Structure 1
Amino acid sequence: MSVGERDLPPGPVLGIESSCDECSAAIMEGPRLLGHVIATQDAHAAFGGVVPEIAARAHLRQLDRVVAAALERSGREAEALVGVGVTAGPGLVGSLLVGVNWAKAFAFGRGLPLVGVHHMEAHLFANSVENPGAEPPFVALLVSGGHTMLLLARAWGRYELLGQTRDDAAGEAFDKVARRMGLGWPGGPAIERAAARGSPGRFELPRPMLDPSVPDDDPAAFDFSFSGLKTAVALVVEEIESSGGAEALESAVPDLAAEFQAAVLDVLVHKTLRAVRATGCRRVLLGGGVARNGALAERLRGALGQGGELFVPSPRLATDNGAMVARVAAWRLERGDRSGLDLNADPSLPFPGLEAVHEAWSVASTRRGSGSGARTAAII
């Protein structure tokens, strides 16, 4: 990505999202979302998860129509666009390639500036599509099928990594546990629905990496691990099936789902509150597909209490969507960021502006533009 002249004229920006199985496009002009379309692929449900080849081929069929529909809803013609943004990674490489190549051809053909967008940075910006007050500084909990991260956003484009998963992402754990319990896909909503009919406590599952004796300057204080929790659920399921069969498992699923959800939420909420205490920043932003879990938002809101502020995207903006891509693309284009026609899909795209350093510091020092509040530092 290069930095060019800040000569972007006012006007609408097109955002394209195709990192996984959602094919989406949106038109934003300034802070206004003018048109937004999300095409969801239902074919994956039969396979219990996203099939990359099916997803990529669906994007090929859908993208022209999705962009045309977004433009129609926006009331703008393609000739009015002033820039294009597209998710360049991370994600499924085949799906990403469809969006990136389409965006490059569209931008080149119309002489428009193009910028590649990081998928998880777009999730950071998603809240600000509907809530202009969702601006840094804030502690961000990004939870999706591929990522679980705690960040401190000092400003847009300036992020500090506090913690991340060491194995499975929380959303991936939801999907795999739901499949093992026979609840279908996608796993997050299925677990949440089943948990609403049960009560935690009947089964005892671990809360990984919640050792209060670990100091804040140890990366383990803010890191996550869900692989062991997933295995613990599998062992419980095997025990139930071996002793009582399929009927016993069916009757146990609501309570087991409630306990699993409680275990994941305990970890997410505990780590987020620890980050709030360590940074002194009581503004928390939730992003990613798992942000659709109503119990997570409720738990975080209650834990923050008075004096805390929680930003939660609407369900439509928590899932992968073009609006968040258009939002971050407009910001990056306005500051002069440009991608050339050599832009490529990168399933392991590094997070832009992310400092690979874990610091226990005061957010007040950021507002002064100084790092003097740092107490300790350790490489993650």
Structure 2
Amino acid sequence: MSLLILGIESSCDETGVALVRGRGGDAVPTLLAHALHSQIAMHQDYGGVVPELASRDHIRRVLPLTEAVLAEAGQRLADVDVVAYTRGPGLAGALLVGAGVACALGAALDRPVLGVHHLEGHLLSPFLSSDPPEFPFVALLVSGGHTQLMRVDGVGRYEILGETIDDAAGEAFDKSAKLLGLGYPGGPALSRLAEQGDAKAFKLPRPLLHSGDLDFSFAGLKTAVLTQAKKLGDELAARKADLAASTQAAIVEVLVRKTLAAIDQTGMRRVVVAGGVGANRLLREQLDAACAARRVRVHYPELHLCTDNGAMIAMAAAMRLQSGQQQANRNYAFDVKPRWPLDAIAS
């Protein structure tokens, strides 16, 4: 059965809206159109996301983006069969905007709604690519404050193999960038600067690299970057690119080595990388090379779909509905879950 699904993402500082056509059965749903507004310019003056400003901007953007997506896809609002939205995790106020709009649209259209887990959206986003994966696979989820390795046997069938016990990889990028005075958003800025530096210039720690498990810890790396920056003093400006490159190399080595350990532990021959850090060029190069040597396939989202977006929310909703893992409903008394572990997702 074909379903037209409208997806709304508003968990943090991007407003995303998309239309996906669910084909039924095992067919991969099709992305018809999507639109995204980033709040980066608005938050730059503050050095990070201001939740109240983020929520207000979502209110301004979500309906115009919805109209633009419908026009691009050549569809009417009345054609929508299901309205999906990000239920969590994320900023409470920002999540409430998307949930409120989605449930209001559902009620007005007499259409069912479905709350989607933000991280499940990232996890399934590679299915939007021109080279979608097949189940089962090992997933490296590196999104914002989350770094996790998972065994994925199907939609809603997730086993967490390891996760961060403090700072995530994305936080390590952003916090290290802030220590180097690179502004907001820090991660992409640090990666760009690292291309000009020597990754072997500074010996930085690789936390939990030899722990024997699949957990992560990046708080100590951030402290080491701070210590090294203080040691450099007046020389920091001249050595900033080297320190950025050394920092990136440390993060990427841990991510790659732990992913390879997860492959060995599970015996899987397929890896999916999802989330914003999945766009990092060095991570892709090193993981591709290491997996090719083991004859393991690696799948990524398209670069423009690595950050938060409505397409991944609509796709996750379509795949949950097609797999029978969840049913949309007409209960418009919505709630949101700012903290919502992926392994606690309702099936």
TM-score interval for Structure 1 and Structure 2 normalised by the shorter chain:
over 0.9
1:139-154 alignment runs, 5 A limit: 139-154=138-153
1:81 aligns with 2:80: yes
What is the aligned counterpart of 1:320 among 298, 305, 308? 308
The residue identity in structure 2 corresponding to 1:314 is: E
CA distance in 2 between counterparts of 1:322 and 1:352 reads 22
Alignment match, 2:26: none
1:167-206 alignment runs, 5 A limit: 167-206=166-205
CA distance in 2 between counterparts of 1:330 and 1:53 reads 31
Alignment match, 2:327: 337
Alignment match, 1:136: 135
The residue identity in structure 2 corresponding to 1:107 is: G
SS in 2 for 1:121: helix
Alignment match, 2:94: 95
SS in 1 for 2:31: strand
Alignment match, 2:282: 295
For the 8 Å contact 2:117–2:345, the answer to whether it is kept is no
Once the 2 structures are TM-superposed, how far is the Cα of residue 185 of structure 1 from its aligned partner? 1.3
Once the 2 structures are TM-superposed, how far is the Cα of residue 354 of structure 1 from its aligned partner? 6.5
SS in 1 for 2:3: coil
Alignment match, 1:360: none
- The Cα offsets for residues 266-291 of structure 1, whole Å up to 9 and x where unpaired, read as 10000000000000002000000101
The residue identity in structure 2 corresponding to 1:309 is: R
SS in 1 for 2:105: helix
For the 8 Å contact 1:158–1:354, the answer to whether it is kept is no
1:262 aligns with 2:260: no
SS in 1 for 2:337: coil
SS in 1 for 2:215: coil
Once the 2 structures are TM-superposed, how far is the Cα of residue 313 of structure 1 from its aligned partner? 1.1
For the 8 Å contact 2:131–2:299, the answer to whether it is kept is no
For the 8 Å contact 1:45–1:185, the answer to whether it is kept is yes
CA distance in 1 between counterparts of 2:345 and 2:76 reads 36
Once the 2 structures are TM-superposed, how far is the Cα of residue 11 of structure 1 from its aligned partner? 3.2
CA distance in 1 between counterparts of 2:317 and 2:3 reads 13
For the 8 Å contact 1:20–1:92, the answer to whether it is kept is yes
CA distance in 1 between counterparts of 2:251 and 2:140 reads 13
- The Cα offsets for residues 145-180 of structure 1, whole Å up to 9 and x where unpaired, read as 110000000111101000000001111111111011
**Structure 1 residues 296 and 142: CA distance shift in structure 2, 3 A:** same
Alignment match, 1:282: 269
Alignment match, 1:34: 32
Note the aligned Cα RMSD (angstroms).
1.5
SS in 2 for 1:100: helix
SS in 1 for 2:272: strand
SS in 2 for 1:66: helix
CA distance in 2 between counterparts of 1:224 and 1:354 reads 22
TM-score normalized by the length of structure 1? 0.85
1:23-62 alignment runs, 5 A limit: 23-30=15-22, 31-41=29-39, 42-62=41-61
Alignment match, 1:224: 216
Aligned-residue sequence identity (percent) comes to: 46
The residue identity in structure 2 corresponding to 1:180 is: L
Once the 2 structures are TM-superposed, how far is the Cα of residue 342 of structure 1 from its aligned partner? 2.9
CA distance in 2 between counterparts of 1:352 and 1:27 reads 27
The residue identity in structure 2 corresponding to 1:74 is: A
Once the 2 structures are TM-superposed, how far is the Cα of residue 203 of structure 1 from its aligned partner? 1.1
The residue identity in structure 2 corresponding to 1:190 is: A
Once the 2 structures are TM-superposed, how far is the Cα of residue 331 of structure 1 from its aligned partner? 2.0
- The Cα offsets for residues 196-220 of structure 1, whole Å up to 9 and x where unpaired, read as 00011211100000116x3xxxxxx
> Unpaired runs of 5+ in structure 2?
23-28
SS in 1 for 2:207: coil
> Which is higher, the Rg of structure 1 or of structure 2?
1
CA distance in 2 between counterparts of 1:281 and 1:70 reads 38
CA distance in 1 between counterparts of 2:319 and 2:218 reads 34
TM-score normalized by the length of structure 2? 0.93
Runs of 4+ in 1 over 6 A off after TM superposition: none
The residue identity in structure 2 corresponding to 1:348 is: R
For the 8 Å contact 2:128–2:302, the answer to whether it is kept is no
Aligned residue-pair number? 335
CA distance in 2 between counterparts of 1:153 and 1:116 reads 21
> Unpaired runs of 5+ in structure 1?
1-8, 215-220, 356-380
The residue identity in structure 2 corresponding to 1:254 is: A
Alignment match, 2:6: 14
CA distance in 1 between counterparts of 2:3 and 2:90 reads 29
CA distance in 1 between counterparts of 2:343 and 2:205 reads 34
CA distance in 1 between counterparts of 2:345 and 2:139 reads 13
- The Cα offsets for residues 215-274 of structure 1, whole Å up to 9 and x where unpaired, read as xxxxxx100000000000001111112xxx2xx211111100010000000100000000
SS in 2 for 1:154: strand
CA distance in 2 between counterparts of 1:352 and 1:113 reads 25
